[in-house]
Amino acid sequence: MRQPFRFAIYCAFSSLCLVPPPSAAAQQTPLAASSPTPAKLRVFLDCDYCDFDYMRTEVTFVDYVRNRQDSQVHILVTDQTTGGGGREFTLHFLGQRDLARLADTLKYVSPQSASEDDLRRGLARVIKLGLVRYSAHLGEAGRFDVTYAAPVKAGGTASPAQADRWNLWVFRTSASGFGRGEKSSNFVSMNGSVSASRTTEEWKTRLGVNGNYGESSFTLGDGSTFNNYSHSYGLSNLLVRSLGPHWSAGQRASWTASTFLNQSRAVRIAPAIEYNFFPYSQSTRRQLTIQYAPGINFFRYQDTTIYDRISEVRGDQTLTAFLDLKQPWGSVSSSLEAAAYLNEFDKNRLVFFNSLDLRLFKGFSLFLFGQASLLHDQLYLPRGNLSDAQRLLRRRQLETSYTYFVNLGLSYSFGSIFNNIVNPRFGGTSGGFTFFN
């Protein structure tokens, strides 16, 4: 009995000896305290696309904090897709506390071919550039040097603008496959698409073709096999003309087919008009648009519908309101769509979508993602009853007057305000779980 007791005493003593000293961040002098050297700039990086570990190891002349209320500079990063398939990042530098009077906006544009490493290097470079101004106000101007690499061509002179032999057209093609399986079931799906697009200040054009095929197999209790097949494919077109800082007009056209929706052919042509309450130039931070689109539809069904139709032509109209905000306190993306057939207004639908991410107060965040629909326009439902297997596997769209889904979350964090340290140890994972008996 004495040996286990001695061993326990030894382990306890060893643990006390191995306890690390308080970290530098934990001992850091508060911002207001006097110090022989200037305090580091406190930064809150608000970016959904950034590699935070990379930023902490590359941009080292600042202190990163976990909450914007503790920062002197809040960096809000937003992005949008460019006409060439790249991404335009807008970095809003928002001064806080003693630097509240300082604000700046910088942009970084990545090409379509940019890798993840290219993106993080480009963003880090722009973040460094934007933070120099704020660090200088804390007395650290003498710690920076400025260099500039002028673009040159082989002869040593500045390179002129290059002609675009593609005339701003961008073409994309993609193909993918997915499979999973086990002893009694398996599933395989394949997807493919081809698209062409062209974007200028005045015009926006999109053309696309896509297809999907899915196949699943199940072994039942009696040893028999049940197979399920589905496919969908379509063509789409979008043409938009700018009519000023707030107005735009356009046209959409599509040709689709889907076994799930009992449609062997569904064609829609719809002109549209849109008004943005904010200038389109502010779209990375805020948008509030209303769009009206009357259209004509041509349907051809695979099976006779519950309304005893195998084909029909119907006019419809759609009114859509869309709100998109990206602000220091969080982000909101919401839409409300109302649609009805012109000859039968009781055949209608109302769809509400919302994505909400709010920082309510220091350390406390609310997340909400969901959609709710009221449906009275399921003209495509096939006549007759579906088997239990067809219902469980969702081989066809089921009759319903509503749909919804919601994802709600809360988070609260407290403790040290600093977020500088990068420690990747034990960061690997097999992607699964291991259970011990």
* pLDDT tens, residue by residue, 170-215: 899 999 999 999 988 999 999 999 999 998 889 999 999 999 999 9
In the prediction, which pLDDT does 399 show? 84
In the prediction, which pLDDT does 33 show? 39
CA pseudo-torsion sign 164, 170, 171, 174 = positive
Say how many CA atoms lie within 13 Å of 125 toward its Cβ. Answer: 14
195 versus 393: which is more confidently predicted? 195
Q: Are 382 and 303 in contact (CB under 8 A)?
A: yes
pLDDT band at residue 430 under the 50/70/90 scheme: low
CA pseudo-torsion sign 146, 152, 155, 158 = negative
Query: Left (φ > 0), alpha (ψ -120 to 50) or beta: where does 422 sit?
Result: beta
Res. 360: pLDDT tops 70: yes
Alpha helices in 72-191 (DSSP H): 116-135
DSSP strands (E only) in 259-329: 263-276, 286-301, 311-327
Q: Are 252 and 235 in contact (CB under 8 A)?
A: no
Res. 10: pLDDT tops 50: no
Q: Are 336 and 351 in contact (CB under 8 A)?
A: yes
Provide the edge-to-edge strand list for the sheet that holds 203-219: 169-182, 185-199, 203-219, 225-242, 247-258, 263-276, 286-301, 311-327, 330-341, 348-361, 364-375, 402-412
In the prediction, which pLDDT does 166 show? 86
Say how many CA atoms lie within 13 Å of 172 toward its Cβ. Answer: 19
For the segment 303-324, the average pLDDT, to the nearest whole number, is 95
The label of the residue with tokens 């974007």 reads 199
- Tell me which range, 104-108, 133-137, 280-284, 397-401, is most confidently predicted by mean pLDDT: 104-108
279 by DSSP, 3-state: which? Answer: coil
- The first and second tokens of residue 326, run together, are 């990206």
Q: How is domain 37-142 classified at the CATH fold level? A: Double Stranded RNA Binding Domain (3.30.160)
- The rounded percent of the chain whose pLDDT value lies above 70 is 84
In the prediction, which pLDDT does 357 show? 87
For the segment 361-374, the average pLDDT, to the nearest whole number, is 90
Res. 88: pLDDT tops 70: yes
For the segment 161-173, the average pLDDT, to the nearest whole number, is 81
Dihedrals φ, ψ of 221, to 5°? -65, -30
Q: Are 134 and 74 in contact (CB under 8 A)?
A: no
207 by DSSP, 3-state: which? Answer: strand
For the segment 327-345, the average pLDDT, to the nearest whole number, is 91
Element (H, E) at 357: strand 348-361
Q: Are 271 and 249 in contact (CB under 8 A)?
A: yes
R_g of the chain, CA atoms, integer Å: 29
Count, residues in the chain:
437
Pairing of strands 286-301, 73-81: unpaired
pLDDT band at residue 330 under the 50/70/90 scheme: confident
Among 55, 33, 52, CA closest to 131: 55
How far, CA to CA in Å, does 14 sit from each of 2, 6, 8, 39? 18, 12, 10, 37
How far, CA to CA in Å, does 83 sit from each of 161, 169, 198, 223? 18, 8, 6, 54
d(CA 92, CA 77): 6
- The first and second tokens of residue 10, run together, are 């030894």
d(CA 87, CA 107): 10
CATH of domain 243-412: 2.40.160
- Distance between the two ends of the chain, CA-based, in angstroms? 29
Among 99, 100, 118, CA closest to 108: 118
In the prediction, which pLDDT does 197 show? 92
Dihedrals φ, ψ of 119, to 5°? -65, -50
pLDDT band at residue 146 under the 50/70/90 scheme: confident
